[in-house]
Structure 1
Amino acid sequence: MKLLGTVLLIFLISYIFIKRRDLLTVKFEFKINYLKYLILYLILIFILVLFIDKKVAFFISNKYPTGYFSLHPDLNIEYTKIFKMITHLGEPEYVALLVFPMFLYSKIKSIVKLENASLGIIIVMILGVSISTILKIIFMRSRPFLEWNSSGFYFIEDILEREIPFKGSYMSFPSGHTMVAFCSYSFLAFKSQKTSIKVLCFLVAILVGVSRICLSAHWMSDVFTSAVIGTVLGGIYANKR
């Protein structure tokens, strides 16, 4: 399934650059009153990192040594299986598997709006992945399973001093899966006229974020950051298109 998703993702991206480059242009104006939201976000992140991240991870993580699920192995096995399935919904390849039928139907029925929406999901998702990757490189935060007793931020300068390798274990902030989920599903939610679809889209995105914490892959602040950025990106692109 993942291989098929990768092939479809490559096809959709290629189609965008060959046939629909017009969808890549979006105008955005930064307004001074946006600063208050940025300040509020920074305050919330500060609170999460210092006071909440560890408590949440210790409580619901599947790997914390003395946590509830570690003390109940049988329950932990089922719990982990469920969230491993959910977390796939935040992977680009699986998003492509969901988007391609929409795109194919739009071409068969010549529905331009549906085509724009399906390709828009891919565009905003790739933008989110790019931003997430850049932030991961800058902050180089260790994942919960690696350092339970540390907030784990190393930043680029520390990487050179500590000789921390560039690898997944030190790329926790922000959550890439959550970024993909919120970029993709929030965009679809903003474009949809049906409340039920809006609710479903945000519910799926939230579950993906929760799954990343439950699987010990991310701290709550990693997920929160991706949820905020992903929703903003999805909203901006949906409103400009």
Structure 2
Amino acid sequence: MIDIGTIFLICLIIYILVKRRDLIKLNLRIERMQYILFIVFVIFLLFIINFLDKKVAFMISSSYPQGLLANYSALNETLTDIFKVITRLGEPNYLAFIALPTFLYFRYKKNTKLQTLILSTVVIMMFGSLISTILKAIFMRSRPYQEWNNFGFYFITDVLQKRVPYNGDYMSFPSGHTMVASCAFFYLAMMNKNIHIKIFWSIIPILVALSRVYLSYHWLSDVLASLLLGLFLAKKYRDSLDPSSLNDLS
């Protein structure tokens, strides 16, 4: 059954395809310094995968019986409920549930700049969702709850050889929720000049990332990769847009 948020998301996408195709652009050209930073980040990520992923998952996951909250079941349940709400901020249909009414309100008010801001946020959000889905299908990493002693990468070749099932249990890297939240909210932060609003938008994807680890859906390296890749995509998308179509918010 299709939920209301999905219907809202489809409506926004159709409107963008019909009326605002100028917003559908993303220049991913990488500069030399960015290649160097990418190599450094990959090395850092490999270190986390090999030495920190298990420790962090065992320590803070709500599902691991020997974690920090093992003896505090009431607090564990409360935090679980809170993070289940926060994690929805990385779901496109949930964000569309907020975005469409807001867009219609600004359309009624004839505020073209904020209309464009909302539509462009939807575009980069969908770019992030698409890219994360492609990467998930390539890397095929097992999630923490699949096997607590296994955070291996199977890659798509193993799927083709039918060594692992092609399903969500083996799509941990990167975190789709964190990627969507990073693309959307880091982009909103970039489009604002007010430092307090920038901080507010920037905190949201970090909380989403924490929720994914706490709820045992992702390893630390999954969400860190998604945060940085989402930040990179948000910046590239902002730079790809025609300056005349969308100015910074004051």
* 1:185 aligned partner, one-letter code: F
Deviation, structure 1 residue 69: 2.4
Residue of structure 2 in register with 1:17 after alignment: 17
Trace 1:1-150 onto structure 2 (pairs within 5 A): 3-150=3-150
Q: Please give the per-residue CA displacement for 1:133-177, whole angstroms capped at 9, x wherever unaligned.
A: 111111110100112112221111222445311111111000010
When the two structures are superposed, what TM-score results if normalisation uses the length of structure 2?
0.91
Aligned pair in 2 of structure 1 residues 166, 26: CA closer, same or farther (>3 Å)? Answer: closer
Query: Is the CA contact (8 Å cut-off) linking 1:178 and 1:208 kept in structure 2?
Result: yes
Query: Is the CA contact (8 Å cut-off) linking 1:86 and 1:211 kept in structure 2?
Result: yes
Q: Please give the per-residue CA displacement for 1:89-124, whole angstroms capped at 9, x wherever unaligned.
A: 111011112222331133112222211110011100
Deviation, structure 1 residue 29: 3.4
Deviation, structure 1 residue 179: 0.5
Aligned pair in 2 of structure 1 residues 98, 195: CA closer, same or farther (>3 Å)? Answer: farther
Aligned pair in 2 of structure 1 residues 146, 27: CA closer, same or farther (>3 Å)? Answer: closer
* 1:194 aligned partner, one-letter code: N
Q: Please give the per-residue CA displacement for 1:47-106, whole angstroms capped at 9, x wherever unaligned.
A: 110011111111100111322223432222112111101101111011112222331133
2 CA distance for matches of 1:184 and 1:153? 28
Query: Is the CA contact (8 Å cut-off) linking 1:49 and 1:221 kept in structure 2?
Result: yes
Secondary structure class of the residue paired with 1:33: helix
Residue of structure 1 in register with 2:202 after alignment: 202
When the two structures are superposed, what TM-score results if normalisation uses the length of structure 1?
0.94
**If each structure's helix is expressed as a fraction of its own residues, which one has the higher value?**
1
- 1:179 aligns to 2:179 (yes or no): yes
1 CA distance for matches of 2:4 and 2:224? 30
* 2:233 aligned partner, one-letter code: L
* 1:38 aligned partner, one-letter code: F
2 CA distance for matches of 1:77 and 1:123? 35
Find runs of 4+ consecutive structure 1 residues off by over 6 angstroms.
none
Aligned length: 240
* 2:8 aligned partner, one-letter code: L
2 CA distance for matches of 1:7 and 1:192? 29
97-106 or 109-118, which deviates more: 97-106
Query: Is the CA contact (8 Å cut-off) linking 2:179 and 2:226 kept in structure 1?
Result: yes
Secondary structure class of the residue paired with 1:117: helix
Deviation, structure 1 residue 26: 4.0
5-14 or 158-167, which deviates more: 158-167
Q: Please give the per-residue CA displacement for 1:181-200, whole angstroms capped at 9, x wherever unaligned.
A: 00110111111121111111
Secondary structure class of the residue paired with 2:32: coil
RMSD over aligned Cα, in angstroms? 1.5
227-236 or 209-218, which deviates more: 227-236
Query: Is the CA contact (8 Å cut-off) linking 1:128 and 1:230 kept in structure 2?
Result: yes
Q: Please give the per-residue CA displacement for 1:206-231, whole angstroms capped at 9, x wherever unaligned.
A: 00000000000000000011101111
* 1:180 aligned partner, one-letter code: V
* 2:176 aligned partner, one-letter code: G
Structure 1 unpaired stretches of 5+: none
229-238 or 157-166, which deviates more: 157-166
Structure 2 unpaired stretches of 5+: 242-250
Q: Please give the per-residue CA displacement for 1:10-50, whole angstroms capped at 9, x wherever unaligned.
A: 10000000111111134453322221111111011111100
